[in-house]
Structure 1
Amino acid sequence: MQELGEKKSYISWPVIAMIGFVTIICFDDILYPLQNQGLSVVFTWIFMVFFFVIPYELSVAHLGSVFNGHQEGGLASWARHSLNSDAAGYWTAWMYWAACLPYIVDVANSTIVSYSWLILGDASLSSRMSSFWFGVWTFVIILVFILLENIIKKSLEVMATIGGWAMFGMTILFVVMTGWTLLNGGKIATQPFNLKAFIPDFSLSYFSTTGLLMFAVCGAELVAPYLKRMKNPNRDFRKAMYLIAFMTAFLTVFGTFSLSIFFDANNLPHDLKMNGSYYAFQLLGERMGMGNVLMYIFAIVQAIYMMAQLAVFLDSTSWVLAADTAERFMPKWMRKRNKNDRPIHSYVLTTGLTLFLLLLSGTLPDINAVFNWLLNLNGIVFPFKNCWLFLAFIAVRVKQDKFPSVFVFIKRRKLAIAVGTWCMLFSFICAVMSFLPQDLAFGTKAWNHQLFLNFLSVGVLFGAGAIMPIMSWFEKRKKESA
């Protein structure tokens, strides 16, 4: 059987861009911050695009060019070799993998929501299904996709390409049609709609929700394991990063403007994070005299897009743990592969910890609370993971003679190190601030409960990584004594 790197078929850079795009942002991602920050989120998005998104994407492109796609472990390999530390490689791999688990559960949740809109045609899922059964069906979907990953070949590229372009197309359609409704007598729902409304108040709540914006625009490094399947990764990978950066900027800024036309940003529905995108296309369809047609089209696109995200995350994160990880940190059974060359026990571990998150979410009162908590949890774990990426970037720039790159992000070394340091510190601050619950009143019983869940879940997800080196040590001792 041929190894992954020996395959003669290549993935083109537009497909790589779509695989990256479906892991980064979708129409839903502009709704979450709108509920948290109101119209002032436009200011935050513009700030994020220029001072984080572009440096982030191009740092990924630089690291991808340095290591040329030869390391299956992606970010873990970058950290391991740039920092010259097996321990750094292992902990990067573990935290990177663990950070993706809440989102895997969240994507499975969103898949259920998309099908509920297709079947029911409204937002009545919360009244029809308990949080227990919501968790059960979420777990079933994750299991089904894990099985499909090991059976159907090429499903990843096909679903990512279709889902990515379809979602971007729906966003453009929404923006264009919003403009059309304004030109034909439509009114702006958000009032006042002036310069003052776009200025943030920079409160504690504002800073505690910025991590969710960072989460919304991160994930490009997930495509790193696929670089070795590109014909010319040094030349083409940066093209994919440029395309992702452009699509992200368009979606966030213009999408938010368009949403403020249909929703009053000062009085948003309480379930906007779960159902807001369907409400948006429902309202657009009503204004255009099309009824629910646009909503149903979006629900189909959303279902495909979410399934593509689930496929990408389950596949790419499993390789992070199984590939290029120091043997003394990871037991042999965790690196075992099945007949399809898949790291089967990585999938088993993914299943176990996602079940743990679902059990924790079962302590929350309803589906909307479950959805919001799992979503907000991403605003903690993803920024922590970003710290490793920028640490690796700083390391390769400090030792750039040892790590030459065809593509260089910022030629002046000191400036590049300063930009990398800024992005790393910004990521860390956003992660710490995001521990504060976002959708509840400060100090209430529900707020304290979610704060406890945040610390417990992050502690288990990251802390469980300490178990693997201990198991590896016992495995080695057993082998030596045999």
Structure 2
Amino acid sequence: MIEDTKRKPISWPVIALMDFVTVIGFDDIIYNFQNQGLQVVGDWVLLLILFVIPYELIVGHLGSTFPEEGGGLSSWIRHTSGDKMGYIAAWSYWVVSLPYLVDVANSTVVALGWLVNGNNSMEDKMSNQMFALLTAVIFVLFIFFQHHFSNSLQILSILGGGAMFIVTILYVIMTVAYLGKGGQVHTHPFNFTSFIPKFDMKFLMSLGLLIFAMNGSEFVAPYVNEMKNGKRDFPKAMYMLAIMTGFLTIFGSFALGVFFNAHNLPHDLKMNGSYYAFQAMGKEFGMGKFFLYVFIITQALYMLAQLAVLVDGGARIFLSDTAKKYLPKQLTKTDRNGLPINGYWLTTFICTVILLLSATLPTMNDIFNQLLNLNGIISPYVTSLLFWAFIKVRENEEKFPSDYVYIKNRKFAIFVGWWCFILTIVAATFGILPIDAKFGSATWWHMLILNIVEPLFLIGLGIILPMIAKRQQAKEAAKN
């Protein structure tokens, strides 16, 4: 790949905005509002202080320590813990995006359903099999488009991401305007005590999805070497990201409590809640379905853009940054445009298996919820590797110097690293327990089995690939 030396460096505010799109969206607020109601506002505040700010500034520290590395987390792990751990991190970071990829494809189908019908009737009109088939069709179409129109998809990602950022802020602003004109709050009581979190089993079961909603800031780490002064400016982007994340989660959840009754939420809020939110806002302002259709179009663009980035970006990071000796040679093959085409097809295969397993659930809403919650299990497990890299860097400061140092006191920095590491492990483990089905019901047990089987499938595949690569290398060595 020939590097364009005339390309302008990426500024830190642009890095922060790029990262914001991958870290938090309107749907993330909806998901956790259904789990916790108004108490989620307190959860966001608590996690912002105890997890998000340390997490994003740790990313800033690691990005400043390894500004020339293009693999992000996998590069950090490889430098601190060796090639084998680097492969494990790269594989884990890649596969963790695949259930989310399925979730995004599902959300794309839902968005198109709202665009066609103008309501949530798709669930009644469409069978689970058709839902799964349409999701698979979207994957195949994106493999084709990614192969032939990659530049157009980059433009789509800018449009979709920018539009989502604007409409999400718009929702908060319109909520303030609604209250300013004397609008009625739909949740009662709506006072300070309503926002205080309860540290019960439901909180622990929700914690993984809360962390999933706020992680991903390391996704832009490969762009550090495209900044004018990445060592100095990348941490600034992380500060800006933390502020934006805090604003959106706290005030966004507050706004949902204004338009929804937190004690009587629709059962399909996770799948359709974003549309209900903008539908309710249009109704309250006497503007019919105007805001709804603005969001439907935005959501469709945003999901298609995310799909494009996830299909290409994840495969590129994994296949370009991992030691070749751990991969079958077929996976390292690229087409005439330098794209890892077989990596795309492996992505499609894994996503299809996950989708088919989850499609055995009774309803479309169950499928959507289980795939979503799967992210709250595997994503925190992989995020814990980031804190492991930070601990190793701070234990060996002489070997890994950094222009930006998060927490000058080395012992306290290591303590914070261990705190975040343990928190993510605990959150992921409790996330295995289904939160969207009645305890002990057939659906609850079904979801629990899937929450165990699907991660084991991903781990097993990650073990098989190096075995295939080793066998190929042995055969080539025998020929020579």
TM-score category, normalised to shorter length: over 0.9
Q: Identify the residue that residue 436 of structure 1 maps to in structure 2.
A: 433
Q: Identify the residue that residue 453 of structure 2 maps to in structure 1.
A: 456
Q: Identify the residue that residue 408 of structure 1 maps to in structure 2.
A: 405
Tell me the TM-score normalised to structure 1 length: 0.96
- Measured after TM superposition, the shift of residue 425 of structure 1 is 0.4
Shift of the 88–394 alpha-carbon distance from structure 1 to 2, 3 Å rule, reads same
Q: Identify the residue that residue 103 of structure 1 maps to in structure 2.
A: 100
Distance in structure 2 (CA, Å) of the matches to 1:223 and 1:151: 24
Q: Which runs of 5+ in 1 are unaligned?
A: none
Q: Identify the residue that residue 40 of structure 2 maps to in structure 1.
A: 41
Shift of the 6–469 alpha-carbon distance from structure 1 to 2, 3 Å rule, reads farther
Alignment partner of 1:287 is 2:284: yes
> Does the 8 Å CA contact 2:362/2:443 hold for their aligned counterparts?
no
Q: Identify the residue that residue 305 of structure 1 maps to in structure 2.
A: 302
The residue type paired with residue 295 of structure 1 is L
The residue type paired with residue 353 of structure 2 is F
Q: Report which stretch shifted further, 195-204 or 289-298.
A: 195-204
Q: Identify the residue that residue 277 of structure 1 maps to in structure 2.
A: 274
Question: Over residues 251-310 of structure 1, what are the superposed CA-to-partner deviations in whole Å (9 max), with x where a residue is unaligned?
Answer: 100000000011111110001001111111111111111010001001111111112211
Q: Identify the residue that residue 117 of structure 1 maps to in structure 2.
A: 114
- Measured after TM superposition, the shift of residue 71 of structure 1 is 2.6
- Measured after TM superposition, the shift of residue 196 of structure 1 is 2.6
Alignment partner of 1:128 is 2:125: yes
Question: Over residues 383-411 of structure 1, what are the superposed CA-to-partner deviations in whole Å (9 max), with x where a residue is unaligned?
Answer: 00111111011111111111111222112
The residue type paired with residue 17 of structure 2 is M
Shift of the 403–384 alpha-carbon distance from structure 1 to 2, 3 Å rule, reads same
Question: Over residues 19-57 of structure 1, what are the superposed CA-to-partner deviations in whole Å (9 max), with x where a residue is unaligned?
Answer: 322211111111111111111111110011111111111
The residue type paired with residue 268 of structure 1 is L
Q: Identify the residue that residue 65 of structure 1 maps to in structure 2.
A: 64
Alignment partner of 1:198 is 2:206: no
Q: Identify the residue that residue 29 of structure 1 maps to in structure 2.
A: 28
Which residues in structure 2 correspond to 1:219-238 (within 5 Å)? 219-238=216-235
The residue type paired with residue 346 of structure 1 is G
Question: Over residues 313-339 of structure 1, what are the superposed CA-to-partner deviations in whole Å (9 max), with x where a residue is unaligned?
Answer: 222211232123223322222222221
Distance in structure 1 (CA, Å) of the matches to 2:150 and 2:245: 29
Counterpart pick for 1:425 among 415, 422, 426 = 422
Distance in structure 2 (CA, Å) of the matches to 1:5 and 1:395: 34
Q: Report which stretch shifted further, 159-168 or 99-108.
A: 159-168
Q: Identify the residue that residue 52 of structure 1 maps to in structure 2.
A: 51
Counterpart pick for 2:367 among 370, 394, 412 = 370
Shift of the 54–186 alpha-carbon distance from structure 1 to 2, 3 Å rule, reads same
Q: Identify the residue that residue 214 of structure 1 maps to in structure 2.
A: 211
> Does the 8 Å CA contact 1:391/1:420 hold for their aligned counterparts?
yes
Shift of the 4–107 alpha-carbon distance from structure 1 to 2, 3 Å rule, reads farther
Question: Over residues 401-430 of structure 1, what are the superposed CA-to-partner deviations in whole Å (9 max), with x where a residue is unaligned?
Answer: 111112221122111111111111000000
> Does the 8 Å CA contact 1:5/1:229 hold for their aligned counterparts?
no
Counterpart pick for 1:447 among 440, 444, 468 = 444
Alignment partner of 1:158 is 2:155: yes
- Measured after TM superposition, the shift of residue 128 of structure 1 is 1.2
Q: Identify the residue that residue 148 of structure 1 maps to in structure 2.
A: 145
Distance in structure 2 (CA, Å) of the matches to 1:411 and 1:158: 41
Distance in structure 2 (CA, Å) of the matches to 1:168 and 1:224: 21
> Does the 8 Å CA contact 1:222/1:316 hold for their aligned counterparts?
no
Question: Over residues 216-265 of structure 1, what are the superposed CA-to-partner deviations in whole Å (9 max), with x where a residue is unaligned?
Answer: 01111122233333333223322322222122111100000000011111
Distance in structure 1 (CA, Å) of the matches to 2:65 and 2:335: 31
Q: Which segments of structure 1 move beyond 6 Å, counting only runs of 4 or more?
A: none
- Measured after TM superposition, the shift of residue 142 of structure 1 is 1.9
> Does the 8 Å CA contact 2:15/2:237 hold for their aligned counterparts?
yes
Distance in structure 1 (CA, Å) of the matches to 2:383 and 2:152: 28
The residue type paired with residue 428 of structure 1 is I
Question: CA-atom RMSD, angstroms?
Answer: 1.6
> Does the 8 Å CA contact 1:390/1:421 hold for their aligned counterparts?
yes
> Does the 8 Å CA contact 1:65/1:234 hold for their aligned counterparts?
yes
SS in 1 for 2:38: helix
Distance in structure 2 (CA, Å) of the matches to 1:6 and 1:465: 37
Question: Over residues 410-451 of structure 1, what are the superposed CA-to-partner deviations in whole Å (9 max), with x where a residue is unaligned?
Answer: 122111111111111000000000000010111111101110
Shift of the 21–444 alpha-carbon distance from structure 1 to 2, 3 Å rule, reads same
Question: Over residues 180-222 of structure 1, what are the superposed CA-to-partner deviations in whole Å (9 max), with x where a residue is unaligned?
Answer: 2122221111111123322333221221111001000111112
- Measured after TM superposition, the shift of residue 80 of structure 1 is 0.5
Shift of the 177–58 alpha-carbon distance from structure 1 to 2, 3 Å rule, reads same
Distance in structure 2 (CA, Å) of the matches to 1:193 and 1:243: 30
Distance in structure 2 (CA, Å) of the matches to 1:195 and 1:41: 12
Counterpart pick for 1:262 among 259, 277, 286 = 259
Q: Identify the residue that residue 19 of structure 1 maps to in structure 2.
A: 18
Query: Percent identity of the aligned residues?
Result: 49
The residue type paired with residue 169 of structure 2 is I
Q: Which runs of 5+ in 2 are unaligned?
A: none
Shift of the 345–163 alpha-carbon distance from structure 1 to 2, 3 Å rule, reads same
Shift of the 76–156 alpha-carbon distance from structure 1 to 2, 3 Å rule, reads farther
The residue type paired with residue 43 of structure 1 is G
> Does the 8 Å CA contact 1:19/1:312 hold for their aligned counterparts?
no
Q: Report which stretch shifted further, 396-405 or 256-265.
A: 396-405
Question: Over residues 368-391 of structure 1, what are the superposed CA-to-partner deviations in whole Å (9 max), with x where a residue is unaligned?
Answer: 111111101000010001111110
SS in 2 for 1:54: helix
Distance in structure 1 (CA, Å) of the matches to 2:85 and 2:235: 25
- Measured after TM superposition, the shift of residue 10 of structure 1 is 4.1
- Measured after TM superposition, the shift of residue 343 of structure 1 is 1.9
The residue type paired with residue 79 of structure 1 is I
Distance in structure 1 (CA, Å) of the matches to 2:202 and 2:310: 30
- Measured after TM superposition, the shift of residue 165 of structure 1 is 2.8
Q: Report which stretch shifted further, 133-142 or 234-243.
A: 234-243
> Does the 8 Å CA contact 2:208/2:431 hold for their aligned counterparts?
yes
Q: Identify the residue that residue 335 of structure 2 maps to in structure 1.
A: 338
Shift of the 264–295 alpha-carbon distance from structure 1 to 2, 3 Å rule, reads same
